[in-house]
């Protein structure tokens, strides 16, 4: 690549970095006479058309960002099989390099850097651009201490494509949000979580989670609690609370926007002395050629070649002389013939205004194509050839491409559809997911769409974000565990299944007060509040004695002519239960055999549900 000129404009000078997705070169922009950084896709990604298209679209979206804390993207292009992005060249180092060499940063220095990153994220999020790969490697520090965030929007192109085709994710798992680790939807709050990890590392010198494999680290983000930075290093409690709120595993518990986190950081800064110029500064070696625009700084490789230098100099001077003479001759001939004019810039203006402007310059115009565009209104000039500023002869035809405005699509009806199917339907229409909220619903199945915004059938510009409300299924109903004491094992298990509970282990205990095979108690105990599907263990009597029996005589009181209700209860070690409930005439006398467990029991008699008397029953000696 060294020495190659891309787009007939960007001359590649040297390699200055690289990652898993692209190689980065320092280049010279011949047209604007300035240094730039050129990121070139690696071959394995350049051959994936779907990836390249998404990469290009996301890079163009990021190019719309204009903020002092964001590395500018100048151009996106393709030459042969080479796909590249041209961006601002930043001479300096990455935040990762600073933490690696310096260790934990000064508290106010870390806060100021985080404030600058928050401002960059707030600017991007307001324009619906999500970074998805916030990490110290993508935070650049200039020699003057200015903070710049790079690779906006590019991580999304990489993640969407690789998740679809290979099941892997480009990026550093140390800075993943829990939803990224689960492969679920990522949005603004995912950037906030990753920024929380960056602030944690600046304050402590280490990341919250580490492990032997990427999978282990990702699972720690999902399941493990973060050790508060205050336990690692003495920092103010307010700053510790800011870090821990940004690192909440539930997105709903995190900061809801970068602006909200920014406000807390600024309040902390004011409380502890206000803004101070604590930005890290360092000297850039005079002979250093690389920069931290996209990776590590690279040193110039001194050639040391001086052989034939004299002849090379004369050859260059001779070539320059020939070129100058040729250009002078051409300009002279042009001057003798048709006058030249500078092409005016008519991009972004209405067609009739563009035609008038060109006509006043003695130029002709022709509309050669029309294309959809999200930024330029319909009927306005999207691009022109030759470009503005070029010198052409009067009478030259300027080719114009008009904007058709945003491409409009109809929002599909996603109600009731599973998340994966809704994803495919949105992508097929050129739409994207916005926010996702989960709610309980008694009708819509789990992980299916309850509602959406915009509503179905609405015409919207292509690329519009669609917010979804997904179902968490019916809200769980608590189950109050009753007492099964005295029931046979089979009866207790059947009753558990009726309640939606799962019979668990059966533990046998010797207890002389219970008949063998009868339930003594449960684990958890009666009265516990459970959920459907919970397991209940049963404690059953082993080697017990048979139930005691006795014949009793009941005399119904005299008086009155109407029948009365007679109810008899037995209270023993198994609890209280009704053993007889019938109606009798006043004065009736009848006999009844009752059974009880344990050494003794109480027999209670109720007449018309009014307690009348009780008797004590004892086991025969």
pLDDT digits (tens, 9 = 90+) for 34-54: 999 998 888 777 777 777 776
How wide is the angle at C-alpha 403 spanned by C-alphas 402 and 405, nearest 5°? Answer: 160
At residue 170, the pLDDT reads 43
Confidence at 279, pLDDT banded by 50, 70, 90: low
- Statement to judge: residues 482 and 560 lie in one domain: no
- Kindly state whether residue 484 falls inside one of the protein's structural domains: yes
Average pLDDT over residues 556-575: 88
At residue 211, the pLDDT reads 86
Torsion of CA 454, 439, 162, 140, to 10 degrees: 80
Q: Which two tokens stand for residue 602?
A: 């109480």
- Statement to judge: residues 83 and 99 lie in one domain: no
Residue 103 pLDDT > 60, yes or no?
yes
Cα atoms in the Cβ-side hemisphere of radius 13 Å centred on 74: 18
At residue 207, the pLDDT reads 93
> Which has more pLDDT, 161 or 514?
514
- Statement to judge: residues 128 and 164 lie in one domain: yes
Average pLDDT over residues 406-420: 90
47-98: pLDDT as tens digits = 777 777 767 766 776 777 888 899 988 888 888 888 889 999 988 889 999 9
Confidence at 567, pLDDT banded by 50, 70, 90: very high
- Kindly state whether residue 279 falls inside one of the protein's structural domains: no
- Kindly state whether residue 183 falls inside one of the protein's structural domains: yes
Q: What percent of the chain is modeled with pLDDT above 90?
A: 43
At residue 399, the pLDDT reads 92
- Statement to judge: residues 16 and 84 lie in one domain: yes
Residue 208 pLDDT > 90, yes or no?
yes
- Statement to judge: residues 148 and 252 lie in one domain: yes
- Statement to judge: residues 98 and 81 lie in one domain: no
Domain containing 384: what range?
340-403
Q: What percent of the chain is modeled with pLDDT above 70?
A: 86
Q: Among residues 451, 469, 487, which one ends one of the domains?
A: 469
The lowest-confidence range among 46-55, 162-171, 266-275 is: 162-171
Residue 468 pLDDT > 90, yes or no?
yes
- Statement to judge: residues 118 and 251 lie in one domain: yes
The lowest-confidence range among 164-173, 299-308, 509-518 is: 299-308
At residue 320, the pLDDT reads 80
The answer to whether the predicted template modeling score (pTM) of the entire model surpasses 0.85 is no
At residue 296, the pLDDT reads 37
Q: Give the chain's domain count.
A: 6
* Sign of the Cα pseudo-torsion (233, 234, 237, 238, in order): negative
Catalytic residue annotation: 133
Q: Which CATH number goes with the domain that contains 353?
A: 3.30.10.20
Angstrom distance (rounded) from CA 304 to CA 72: 35
- Order of strands across the sheet with 600-607? 575-584, 564-572, 600-607, 610-618
- CB neighbours of residue 45 within 10 Å: 19
Average pLDDT over residues 235-252: 93
350-359: pLDDT as tens digits = 999 999 999 9
Chain mean pLDDT for the chain: 84
């Amino acid at each position: 690549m060294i020495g190659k000129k891309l787009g007939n404009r960007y001359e590649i000078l040297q390699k200055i970095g690289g990652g898993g997705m692209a190689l980065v070169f320092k280049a010279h922009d011949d047209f604007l006479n300035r240094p730039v950084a050129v990121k070139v896709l690696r071959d394995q990604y350049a051959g994936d058309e779907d990836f390249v298209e998404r990469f290009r679209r996301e890079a163009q979206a990021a190019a719309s960002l204009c903020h002092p804390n964001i590395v500018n993207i100048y151009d996106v292009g393709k030459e042969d099989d080479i796909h590249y992005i041209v961006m601002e060249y930043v001479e300096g180092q990455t935040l990762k390099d600073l933490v690696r060499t310096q260790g934990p940063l000064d508290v106010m220095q870390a806060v100021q850097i985080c404030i600058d990153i928050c401002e960059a994220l707030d600017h991007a999020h307001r324009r619906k651009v999500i970074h998805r790969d916030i990490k110290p490697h993508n935070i650049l520090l200039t020699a003057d201490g200015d903070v710049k965030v790079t690779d906006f929007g590019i991580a999304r192109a990489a993640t969407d494509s690789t998740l679809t085709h290979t099941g892997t994710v480009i990026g550093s798992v140390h800075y993943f949000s829990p939803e990224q680790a689960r492969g679920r939807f990522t949005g603004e709050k995912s950037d906030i979580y990753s920024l929380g990890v960056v602030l944690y590392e600046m304050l402590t010198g280490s990341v919250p989670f580490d492990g032997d494999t990427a999978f282990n680290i990702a699972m720690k983000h999902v399941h493990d609690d973060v050790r508060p930075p205050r336990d690692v290093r003495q920092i103010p409690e307010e700053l510790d609370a800011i870090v821990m709120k940004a690192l909440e595993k539930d997105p709903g518990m995190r900061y809801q926007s970068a602006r909200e986190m920014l406000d807390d950081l600024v309040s902390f800064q004011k409380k502890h002395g206000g803004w101070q110029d604590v930005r890290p500064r360092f000297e850039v070696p005079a002979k250093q050629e690389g920069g931290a625009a996209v990776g590590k700084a690279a040193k110039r490789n001194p050639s040391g070649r001086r052989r034939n230098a004299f002849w090379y100099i004369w050859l260059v001077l001779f070539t320059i002389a020939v070129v100058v003479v040729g250009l002078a001759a051409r300009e002279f001939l042009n001057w003798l013939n048709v006058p030249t004019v500078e092409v005016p810039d008519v991009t972004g203006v209405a067609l009739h205004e563009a035609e008038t402007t060109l006509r006043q310059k003695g130029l002709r115009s022709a509309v050669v194509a029309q294309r959809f565009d999200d930024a330029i209104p319909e009927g306005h000039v999207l691009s022109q050839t030759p470009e503005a500023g070029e010198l052409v002869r009067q009478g030259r035809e300027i080719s114009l491409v008009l904007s058709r405005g945003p491409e409009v699509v109809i929002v599909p009806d996603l109600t009731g559809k599973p998340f994966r199917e809704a994803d495919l339907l949105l992508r097929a229409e050129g739409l994207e997911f916005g926010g996702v909220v989960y709610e309980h619903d008694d009708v819509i199945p789990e992980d299916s769409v309850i509602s959406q915004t915009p509503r179905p059938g609405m015409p919207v510009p292509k690329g519009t974000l669609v917010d979804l409300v997904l179902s968490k299924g019916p809200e769980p109903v608590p189950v109050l565990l009753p007492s099964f004491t005295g029931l046979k094992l089979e009866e207790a298990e059947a009753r558990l299944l009726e309640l939606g509970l799962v019979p668990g282990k059966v533990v046998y205990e010797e207890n002389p007060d219970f008949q063998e095979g009868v339930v003594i108690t449960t684990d958890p105990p009666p009265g516990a509040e459970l959920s459907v599907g919970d397991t209940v263990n049963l404690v059953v009597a082993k080697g017990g004695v048979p139930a005691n029996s006795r014949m009793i005589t009941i005399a119904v009181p005299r008086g009155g002519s109407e029948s009365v209700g007679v109810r008899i209860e037995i209270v023993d070690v198994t609890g209280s239960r009704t053993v007889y409930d019938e109606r009798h005439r006043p004065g009736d006398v009848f006999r009844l055999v009752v059974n009880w467990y344990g050494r003794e029991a109480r027999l209670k008699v109720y007449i018309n549900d009014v307690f009348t008397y009780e008797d004590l029953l004892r086991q025969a000696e």
